[in-house]
Structures are given as structure tokens and as C-alpha cells.
Amino acid sequence: QLATNNFCEENILGRGGFGEVFKGNLDVKTVVAVKKLQVYHARSKDEFENEVKLITHIHHRNLLRLLGWSSEGSDLLLVLEYMPNGSLDQFLWGAKSGTLDWNQRYEIIFGIARGLAHLHNEFHVKIIHRDIKSSNILLTDDFKPKIADFGLARFQPEDQSHVNTKFAGTLGYTAPEYALQGHLSDKVDTYSFGVVVLEIISGRRSTEVNRSSSDYLLEHAWKLYEKKIHKKCIDETLDSKQYEQEHVMNIIEIALLCTQSPVSKRPTM
């Protein structure tokens, strides 16, 4: 049972489109995060149902766990595992910027890739997150990443003609083929992930990267990537988890490649 006095200003962890996230206690020992969505927003009911439906059965160390929910009364509540280090964006350009070392960045990139690989490959139908961005990546106390915020997640449509082309997602992270033609596939997440990889490497916001469409920044990020991360990945593929590492590595490569050229050619939205 959640105490309602948990929902006060001093316990606030974050704000989003349709509600707020609070730190709370399930019992004396268990700290949780409670996401409260206002029921009077038409879209928050949809997002709530989505988060509940899609994430309940998913267990993976890089995907945020949903511990429970409630839709009684005037609020929709999602009880989530608490992530002490908050979201990744704060560590890139927010209050704690510049504090992640290269090992941590590398682990974060790999962790996100593993979480995505699970969503895209472990189920009968692919799950597409649709809102991969730095503020939806949360960090544990030892900086392991978990993908959060499944409000926009969808099963991959079998038939693209039924895709709702209405824009959903976040400007700057959205794949051009989805923003322009409404074409929805797992590549949409891979593209957004590529943007996040660039943000992690460069420490700059995607919108900044796009606005300048700066070849310099991309080139710079790419060089850093090759120097710092690629080498380490190659070293580590020699260990026993070779297959997994290679698979994840492929995703990172693809993400970086598909992000690399379209960014500079991206239409203004």
C-alpha cells in the first residue's frame, strides 16, 4: 500500500508529458518509483495501458521492471523499480555532466544495446519502444543502464499500411523514414539508439548535433568511438560471451552507421 504523502514536491524524481514520478516506499525496506499519470489526459490512459501491457512480462537486466499498478480513483499509478542515479541526460549535459568515464560510457552503450536486442529478438512479435532517448535511460547505483518509459511502445505491425502515421516520439531522435512516411520497424529504435550513442560519446544534445548538422562533431564522435570503444569491444569479444558481444557490436555499428549520414541530411521538422 502506497502512502499518499509520498506524492509531494520533495519526493519528486522527474516530470514528463502527462504526469510526475515520485520516490516512495512499498514497505520500510523497499524503495520504489511511482509514476503518476493524470487520468483526464486522453493520451495518458493509452500510455498507462501500454506500459502495463507490454512491460509486465518482460524480465531483463537492462529493461526497467514494473512492480505493480493501480488504476483506481482519479490517478493512474505505475510502481517501478527505483533507479538511484536517475536519467542519463543529467550525466551528459545536466547537473552531473562530465562525470562518466569511458568505461562507464562503454558499459552504458552496451547495456542499452542488450536491452534493445531483447525487445527486438526475444518475443514472437518484435516490441518497438519508439521513444529511445537519454532521458528514458535510467542508471542504477553502479551506472548500469535500464531502458524506461514504455508509454509509446508497440508491437511491430505486420502490415505497414495500418501504421498510424501520426508522429510519436521525440524530435531529434526519430528516424526519417518514420517521421516522414510513418514506416515503423525495429530500425526506428536502432536509429534513436544511434543518436543516444553519439550523445554519450560527444556529451552533446542530439538537437545540438542536428542543428549544427555538424560534420565536425560526427567525425569527432566517430574518431572517439573508434579509439575508445571499438578497440575495447574487439578486445572483449575474445571472452566467452563472444556471440552476445558480436551481436551487440553489430547493433552499435548499424546504429552509428544509420545515424551518421541521415543526420546531416535530415529534413527540418
Contact between 148 and ligand ADP by CB under 6 A: the answer reads yes
User: Is residue 138 within the footprint of ligand ADP (CB under 6 A)?
Assistant: yes
- Which secondary-structure segment (H or E) carries 222? helix 215-224
Which range in 8-16, 36-44, 242-250, 253-261 contacts Mg ion by CB under 5 A? 8-16
- Secondary structure percentages of the chain, helix, strand, coil, to 5: 45, 15, 40
Task: Tell me the longest C-alpha to C-alpha distance in the chain.
Answer: 54
For the bound state, the minimum distance from the C-beta of residue 134 to ligand ADP, rounded and expressed in Å, comes to 9
CB 47 within 8 A of CB 151: yes
Cα separation, 195 vs 198, in Å, equals 5
Separation between Cα atoms, residue 64 and residue 73, nearest integer Å: 25
Mask for 182-221, x = binds ligand ADP (CB under 6 A):
----------------------------------------
- Rule CB under 5 A: choose which of 66, 132, 146, 149 binds Mg ion: 149
- C-beta of 46 vs 177, nearer to ligand ADP: 46
Q: Report the nearest approach of ligand ADP to the CB of residue 139 (Å).
A: 9
Concerning whether 131 is annotated as a catalytic residue, the answer is yes
Taking the alpha carbons of 19, 20, 21, 27 in that order, is the dihedral positive or negative?
A: negative
Residue 21 interacts, among Mg ion, ligand ADP, none and using kind-specific CB cut-offs from 5 to 8 Å, with: ligand ADP
- 55: three-class secondary structure by DSSP: helix
Q: Is 206 in the site for Mg ion (CB under 5 A)?
A: no
The three-state DSSP-derived secondary structure of 105-168 is: HHHHHHHHHHHHHHHHHCCCCCEECCCCCHHHEEECCCCCEEECCCCCCEECCCCHHHCCCCCC
Report the residue number whose CB is nearest to Mg ion. 151
206 CB burial (10 A radius; 0-12, 13-18, 19+): buried
In the list 149, 186, 189, 199, the residue contacting ligand ADP (rule: CB under 6 A) is 149
Annotated catalytic residue: which of 27, 46, 75, 131?
131
| Binds Mg ion (CB under 5 A): choice among 6, 16, 65, 228 | 16
Show contacts with ligand ADP in window 150-179 (CB under 6 A).
151
| Residue corresponding to grid cell 563472444 | 242
Closer residue to ligand ADP, CB minimum distance, 22 or 225: 22
Closer CB to ligand ADP, 47 or 186, in the complex: 47
Q: How far is the CB of 138 from ligand ADP (least distance, A)?
A: 5
Q: What are the residues facing 37 on neighbouring strands? A: 19, 76
Contacts of 24 (CB under 8 A, 6+ apart): 2, 3, 6, 7, 11, 31, 32, 33, 34, 79
Q: Does 80 bind ligand ADP (CB under 6 A)?
A: yes
d(CA 140, CA 125): 29
Q: Which residues bind ligand ADP (CB under 6 A)?
A: 13-14, 16-17, 19, 21, 33, 35, 80-83, 86-87, 135-136, 138, 148-149, 151
Q: Which residues bind Mg ion (CB under 5 A)?
A: 16, 136, 149, 151
Catalytic residues: 131
